[in-house]
């Protein structure tokens, strides 16, 4: 069972973890949410600076808590793509430096592969293949997982990711950042059926619609028009804007779209298990609807543990351990990339650096 120190700094969470196989020996995350909330979103330069400040302390902390010294590790891993380039460089340079100093292999990890592996930190998975619905701030994808490192994308968002839609609608409603938790909190007392909102579909050039793909641009436009109309009525009548009902209606339609298309995809491809991962997987309404629909249709389902839905280093460590078990490591010269499709993750383990 390899023991791996994993580092994650792809966006606005600084994280370190020590993982042995799929067991987390220690995990620590330093969040920057409050700082970026002042600006309504992540400021890349600020994120990079905070990673530089936080990461050394996080590494020391997980080594102390786990009782594992760097010299006792089997490998050092770091997220190298996709993400904010300046932020990615902090974990990548730190990881490669530690690996070189202590004579350990370095493993560059694709961030989405980390999310796919996060479910392994919870209950055991039924035998594969299985379907993963990955929903986060930057990605909304349906991925068929055959085995570690063997992935096939079956569906995706053609515009905003679900998490981005939550952030933008939260801003429209005057709620906080990040949008997912803010909308969930506002929606608790709302009526999810008060406003009829569209379930965006993506047209095919040859006619019809992509059955498993997502689009949230039309939903955002519908919300904008609804809010403007209600604001005009509120100004005339003096009634407050029904923020709770708007938030609940938006949250409900997003959950329905994600679950309906995921269940259809799993059924059409003969996949008996549906897995939910990513930051948006923390949403209570989405988790409840997934459980309800899967139970009704006979699908087995799993959700990543709540602590490992948002960005963390433990999931990166699990992904790295799988690659190490395959005999794969990354060249020390490997850089970072803002964009890299999940299907190209194998390039991170080629002899010549991919970038």
Q: How many CB atoms lie under 10 A from the CB of residue 128?
A: 16
Domain boundaries, given as residue ranges, for the chain: 3-116+309-349, 128-303
What pLDDT shows up at residue 38? 87
What pLDDT shows up at residue 222? 97
Q: Which two structure tokens, joined as six digits, stand for 36? A: 């970026």
CATH topology of domain 128-303: Nucleotidyltransferase; domain 5 (3.30.420)
β-strand 3-8 against 300-303: which pairing, if any? unpaired
CATH class (in words) of the domain with range 3-116+309-349 = alpha beta
Q: What is the pLDDT along the chain (355 residues), one digit of tens a residue?
A: 799 999 999 999 999 999 998 899 999 999 998 889 888 889 999 999 999 999 999 999 999 999 999 999 999 999 999 999 999 999 999 999 999 999 999 999 999 999 999 999 998 887 789 999 999 988 999 999 999 899 999 999 999 999 999 999 999 999 989 999 999 999 999 999 999 999 999 999 999 999 999 999 999 999 999 999 999 998 888 889 999 999 999 999 999 999 999 999 999 999 999 999 999 999 999 999 999 999 999 999 999 999 999 999 999 999 999 999 999 999 999 999 999 999 999 999 999 999 9
Measured at the alpha carbon of residue 76, what is the angle toward residues 70 and 78, in degrees to the nearest 5? 135
Query: How far apart are alpha carbons 122 and 276 in whole angstroms?
Result: 12
What pLDDT shows up at residue 312? 98
CA distances (Å), origin 283, targets 6, 68, 134, 202, 275? 26, 34, 13, 24, 14
Same topology, domains 3-116+309-349 and 128-303? Answer is yes
What pLDDT shows up at residue 72? 96
CB 226 within 8 A of CB 285: no
- Identify any residues that bridge with 303 across adjacent strands, giving them in sequence order: 276
Q: Which two structure tokens, joined as six digits, stand for 211? A: 């059955």
CA distances (Å), origin 269, targets 155, 212, 235, 262? 12, 11, 51, 11
The tokens 């009829």 sit on which residue? Answer: 196
CB 302 within 8 A of CB 128: no
pTM for the structure as a whole: 0.95
All residues at 6 or more sequence positions from 230 whose CB lies less than 8 Å from its CB, including other chains: 241, 242, 246
């Amino acid at each position: 069972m390899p023991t791996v120190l994993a580092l994650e700094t792809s966006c606005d969470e600084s994280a370190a973890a020590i993982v042995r196989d799929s067991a987390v020996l220690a995990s620590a995350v330093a969040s920057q949410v409050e700082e970026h909330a002042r600006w309504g979103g992540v400021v890349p330069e600020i994120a990079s600076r905070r990673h530089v400040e936080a990461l050394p302390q996080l590494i020391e902390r997980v080594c102390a808590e786990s009782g594992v010294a760097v010299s006792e590790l089997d490998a050092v891993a770091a997220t190298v793509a996709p993400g904010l380039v300046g932020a990615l460089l902090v974990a990548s340079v730190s990881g490669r430096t530690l690996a070189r100093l202590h004579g350990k292999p370095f493993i560059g990890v694709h961030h989405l592969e980390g999310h796919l592996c996060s479910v392994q930190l919870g209950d055991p998975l039924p035998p594969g293949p299985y379907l993963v619905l990955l929903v986060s701030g930057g990605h909304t994808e349906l991925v068929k997982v055959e085995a570690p490192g063997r992935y096939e994308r079956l569906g995706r968002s053609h515009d905003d990711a679900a998490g981005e839609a939550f952030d933008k609608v939260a801003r429209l409603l005057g709620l906080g950042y990040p949008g997912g938790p803010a909308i969930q909190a506002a929606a608790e007392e709302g009526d999810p059926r008060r406003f009829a909102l569209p379930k965006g579909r993506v047209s095919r050039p040859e006619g019809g619609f992509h059955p498993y793909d997502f689009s949230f641009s039309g939903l955002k436009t519908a919300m904008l028009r609804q809010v403007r109309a209600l604001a005009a009525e509120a100004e005339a009548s003096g009634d407050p804007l029904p923020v709770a009902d708007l938030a609940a209606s938006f949250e409900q339609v997003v959950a329905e779209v994600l679950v309906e298309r995921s269940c259809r995809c799993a059924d059409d491809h003969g996949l008996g298990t549906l897995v939910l991962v990513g930051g948006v997987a923390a949403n209570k309404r989405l988790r409840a609807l997934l459980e309800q629909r899967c139970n009704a249709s006979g699908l087995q389902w799993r959700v990543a543990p709540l602590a490992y839905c948002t960005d963390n280093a433990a999931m990166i460590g699990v992904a790295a351990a799988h690659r190490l078990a395959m005999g794969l490591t990354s060249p020390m010269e490997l850089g970072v990339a803002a964009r890299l499709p999940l299907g190209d993750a194998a390039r991170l383990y080629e002899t010549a650096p991919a970038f």
